[in-house]
Amino acid sequence: MKASLDDLAVFGGPPAFAESLCVGRPNIGRREDFLARIGAMLDRRWLTNDGPYVREFERALERHLGGTHCIAVANATLGLGIVARALGLTGEVILPAFTFVATAHALKWPGIEPVFADVDPHTHNLDPEYAERLITSRTTGILGVHVWGRPCAVDELTELARRRGLTLLFDAGHAFGCSHGGRKIGNFGRAEVFSFHATKFVHSFEGGAIATNDADLAARLKRMRNFGFSGYDEVAELGINAKMSEAAAAMGLTSLESFDEIVKINKENHEIYCSGLGQVPGLRVVEYDPDECANYQYVVVEVETAAAGISRDALHKALWAEGVLARRYFYPGCHRMEPYRSLPRYRGVRLPMTDQLADRVLCLPTGSAVTPRDVELVCMLIEFCRAHGPELSIRLRDIVPAPVPAPHTY
């Protein structure tokens, strides 16, 4: 461990981790099972187009979610886009600015205007009262996001959408395996969209699934993900290519079989983070409701500069040098990213809670590639940095972070 500030890697000491710890390093699951599936797939020569693995994956997801219809797609971004189109969303749709930029892009791409609402600073999720104030004659829907897999204000938003005659859907990109009121996410609104990107808790390399309780909508979405084909030579409507491949579904099935194992690892890591950082002044570890299902995929701390004596960005800089590649999700917020930032309609947008969170939040590494010992070390590093906060902050001001060898994109 570090005895003095000079031992920190950012000042030339040896990094705490020779091999970097990353946020969202993929869980692999049982390799032999995956490879056996790939072998059978090659023997069948059925590689895509509603193949047996895609169907099996969809049925497995449906069992997991408790009855809802599931439509596997190439990724969640396309999934959100086709749902928005299938539900006839036009004009403006309200969503939180504190989300992954894909939530906004998925609307913008089919020509819908994303309208950014502020979030509740405690839940990090869309503030329903703020959302209501943004409703205009052009508003057709609300897109809630279950940030970190913690359900957003589902009941309030359901009531609001009903009262104002709006379509409600959810970006459940983080929330596979999570529940609200004892019911699995995937059963709320008109539809919910999961992501099975490699960095997600359960994944299919690239992939996603739309969950809906509406059988007619499900049938339409299946058509839309396949160019709108309703028969061999018949196209019923404007579709796109949002099909999941068989290789992706083979990974999805294998990943799903490790569900319990991964939750267990994530939960244990989360608990170690909580006990290691829970008492550190100025730091707050985001907690999950113990009475609900959660996947614990995101270990999120809020750093309050004044109380901690160090800013989130200073801590981030020191940790990266140590090989702890913590992430500042969702800095700086969608409203401060292109193309939104430069468009006239977003120029006056001020979202103080989103800005505050974007300046405070740090996501820490977890998952099956991170051991309990790693987590303990990360906690000790953070506490060390905080304890030396004021001096460290001054010395860090002149440090230009060393370039990271390669972008860590899984």
Ligand X SMILES: *Cc1c(COP(=O)(O)O)cnc(C)c1O
- Angle of the 312-321 helix axis to the 352-360 helix axis, nearest 10: 30
Q: Name the token pair of 182.
A: 């004892």
Query: Which backbone phi and psi does 297 adopt, to 5 degrees?
Result: -75, -25
Size of interface with ligand X, in residues (CB under 6 A): 14
User: For residues 167 and 195, which CB has a smaller minimum distance to ligand X in the complex?
Assistant: 195
Burial of 403 by CB count in 10 Å (0-12 exposed, 13-18 middle, 19+ buried)? exposed
Residues 195-254 that bind ligand X (CB under 6 A): 195, 197, 208
The one segment of 39-47, 75-83, 218-226, 256-264 that binds ligand X by CB under 6 A: 75-83
Residue nearest to ligand X (CB): 173
Closest distance of CB 269 from ligand X, Å: 19
The one segment of 122-130, 170-178, 260-268, 279-287 that binds ligand X by CB under 6 A: 170-178
Q: Which helix (H) or strand (E) holds 115?
A: strand 113-117
The one segment of 52-60, 72-80, 132-140, 352-360 that binds ligand X by CB under 6 A: 72-80
User: For residues 172 and 382, which CB has a smaller minimum distance to ligand X in the complex?
Assistant: 172
User: For residues 87 and 126, which CB has a smaller minimum distance to ligand X in the complex?
Assistant: 126
- Candidate list 27, 68, 103, 266; residue touching ligand X; CB under 6 A: 103
- Candidate list 68, 75, 167, 354; residue touching ligand X; CB under 6 A: 75
User: For residues 185 and 321, which CB has a smaller minimum distance to ligand X in the complex?
Assistant: 185
The one segment of 98-106, 209-217, 246-254, 346-354 that binds ligand X by CB under 6 A: 98-106
Q: Name the token pair of 296.
A: 């614990």
Report how far residue 54's alpha carbon sits from residue 243's, in angstroms, rounded to the nearest whole number.
Answer: 9
Burial of 82 by CB count in 10 Å (0-12 exposed, 13-18 middle, 19+ buried)? buried
Asked if 98 and 120 count as a contact pair (C-beta separation under 8 A), the reply is no
User: For residues 194 and 320, which CB has a smaller minimum distance to ligand X in the complex?
Assistant: 194
The one segment of 33-41, 73-81, 214-222, 313-321 that binds ligand X by CB under 6 A: 73-81
Residue type at position 200: K
The one segment of 94-102, 125-133, 265-273, 398-406 that binds ligand X by CB under 6 A: 94-102
Residue 47, helix vs strand vs coil: coil
Report how far residue 76's alpha carbon sits from residue 174's, in angstroms, rounded to the nearest whole number.
Answer: 11
Burial of 90 by CB count in 10 Å (0-12 exposed, 13-18 middle, 19+ buried)? middle
User: For residues 171 and 374, which CB has a smaller minimum distance to ligand X in the complex?
Assistant: 171
Q: Name the token pair of 135.
A: 């409703």
Report DSSP letters for 229-255, one per residue. Answer: EEETTEE-S---B-PPPHHHHHHHHHH
- Candidate list 41, 65, 72, 76; residue touching ligand X; CB under 6 A: 76
User: For residues 17 and 298, which CB has a smaller minimum distance to ligand X in the complex?
Assistant: 298
Asked if 33 and 257 count as a contact pair (C-beta separation under 8 A), the reply is yes
User: For residues 245 and 393, which CB has a smaller minimum distance to ligand X in the complex?
Assistant: 245
Does residue 329 touch ligand X according to CB under 6 A? no
* DSSP letter assigned to residue 344: G
- Candidate list 27, 99, 125, 255; residue touching ligand X; CB under 6 A: 99
Q: Which residues here bind ligand X, judged by CB under 6 A? A: 75-77, 99-100, 102-103, 145, 171, 173-174, 195, 197, 208
